[in-house]
């Protein structure tokens, strides 16, 4: 408890921005706790960190922390983060997004940030809905689920965020549920330390809108569901497709070394400067003034 209190007073704007706007039982608080524990373990100072977000429930997170923060427009968090990283490569840029923010209006930015392999950490809180704007279905809402914009059941099939990140070329991809809070902060820590584009999918829950609409119970029941369906990567590798049906694989899904965009850009700049530099006069020659 003493250690938790220490972190609260070290990292949160507890005397300015609280109480928070999240609903009772929301998973965003667990993600925020995992984030500050992970950052504390990395040893970076608060001035080293930039936390960027878009719009949505998860997008409120930068408001509550004492880092360099940027609350941006819907779906554009990664574009702002890209600009920060190109201008100040030394900064540790972390982007927090919801599933709708990251994979709907921000989907194209997400794919291309992954393939560029920018040295960013992207945390995507996946609660299967647009929670802040009324419970509309999102790109990760399960087929057949109910939403305010799917009164007779969602007829679209969901994205698998982590799988999409792997395919798009991210250097590091991890997934955890918010029930597995210790695993979540370990993955975030690994993502921050990783040189390259790191994606951590935090499978969360929205009891107020998604859970209530789909009769899934309250926060406790939704958390216990996460516990039941989650399977560690190491165990999943020994299971058949039939056994994995309806399960969520958690852990490190990919960890690979790839050229980093900012380093490649620096190399090109240096090559261009060398090519455009004026020729130097040979030794021993004289030039007229």
Check pLDDT > 70 for residue 284.
no
Check pLDDT > 60 for residue 287.
no
CB 131 within 8 A of CB 87: no
Q: Confidence class of residue 289 from pLDDT cuts 50, 70 and 90?
A: very low
Question: What pLDDT was estimated at residue 8?
Answer: 84
CB 187 within 8 A of CB 254: no
- Residue 116 CA from chain centroid, whole number: 16
Cα Rg of the chain, angstroms? 22
Fold exhibited by the domain 2-276: Rossmann fold (3.40.50)
* Nearest alpha carbon to residue 97 among 210, 223, 199, 176: 199
Give the C-alpha separation, 131 to 23, whole Å: 10
Q: How many other CB atoms are found less than 10 A from the CB of residue 5?
A: 9
Check pLDDT > 80 for residue 288.
no
Sheet containing 172-177, strands listed edge to edge, beginning at the edge strand earlier in sequence: 68-71, 49-53, 92-98, 121-126, 198-203, 172-177, 248-255, 230-232
* Nearest alpha carbon to residue 199 among 254, 239, 138, 144: 254
Per residue in 9-48, pLDDT (tens digit) is 899 998 878 889 999 999 999 999 999 999 999 999 999 9
Between 56 and 282, whose confidence is greater?
56
Tell me what percent of the residues of the chain surpass a pLDDT of 70. 96
**Residue ranges per domain, the chain?**
2-276
- Residue 52 CA from chain centroid, whole number: 10
In b/e form, how buried is each residue of 85-107, taking b as 16+ CB within 10 angstroms?
beeebebbbbbbbbbbbbbbbbb
Per residue in 77-106, pLDDT (tens digit) is 999 999 999 999 999 999 999 999 999 999
Q: Confidence class of residue 113 from pLDDT cuts 50, 70 and 90?
A: very high
Per residue in 150-169, pLDDT (tens digit) is 999 999 999 999 999 999 99
* Nearest alpha carbon to residue 87 among 65, 108, 70: 70
pTM of the predicted model as reported, rounded to 2 decimal places: 0.92
Q: How many other CB atoms are found less than 10 A from the CB of residue 243?
A: 12
């Amino acid at each position: 408890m003493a250690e938790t209190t220490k972190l609260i007073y070290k990292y949160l704007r507890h005397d300015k921005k609280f109480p928070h706007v999240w609903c009772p039982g929301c998973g965003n608080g667990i993600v925020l706790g995992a984030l500050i524990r992970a950052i504390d373990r990395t040893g970076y100072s608060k001035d080293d960190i930039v936390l960027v977000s878009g719009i949505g429930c998860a997008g409120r997170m930068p408001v509550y922390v004492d880092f360099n923060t940027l609350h941006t427009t819907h779906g554009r968090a990664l574009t702002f983060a890209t600009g920060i990283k190109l201008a100040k490569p030394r900064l540790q840029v972390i982007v927090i997004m919801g599933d709708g923010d990251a994979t709907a209006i921000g989907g194209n930015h997400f794919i291309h940030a992954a393939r560029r392999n920018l040295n960013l950490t992207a945390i995507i809180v996946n609660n299967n809905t647009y929670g802040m704007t009324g419970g509309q279905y999102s790109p990760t809402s399960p087929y057949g689920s109910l939403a305010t914009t799917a009164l007779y059941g969602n007829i679209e099939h969901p994205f698998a965020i982590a799988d999409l990140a792997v395919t798009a070329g991210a250097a590091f991809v991890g997934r955890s549920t918010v029930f597995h809070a210790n695993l979540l902060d370990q993955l975030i820590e690994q993502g921050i330390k990783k040189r390259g584009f790191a994606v951590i999918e935090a499978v969360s829950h929205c009891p107020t809108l998604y859970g209530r609409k789909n009769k899934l119970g309250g926060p406790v029941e939704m958390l216990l569901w996460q516990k039941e369906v989650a399977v560690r990567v190491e165990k999943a590798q020994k299971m058949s497709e039939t056994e994995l049906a309806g399960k969520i694989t958690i852990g490190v899904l990919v960890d690979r070394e790839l050229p980093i965009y900012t380093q490649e850009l620096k190399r090109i700049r240096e090559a261009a400067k060398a090519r455009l530099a004026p020729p130097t006069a040979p030794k021993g020659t004289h030039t007229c003034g």
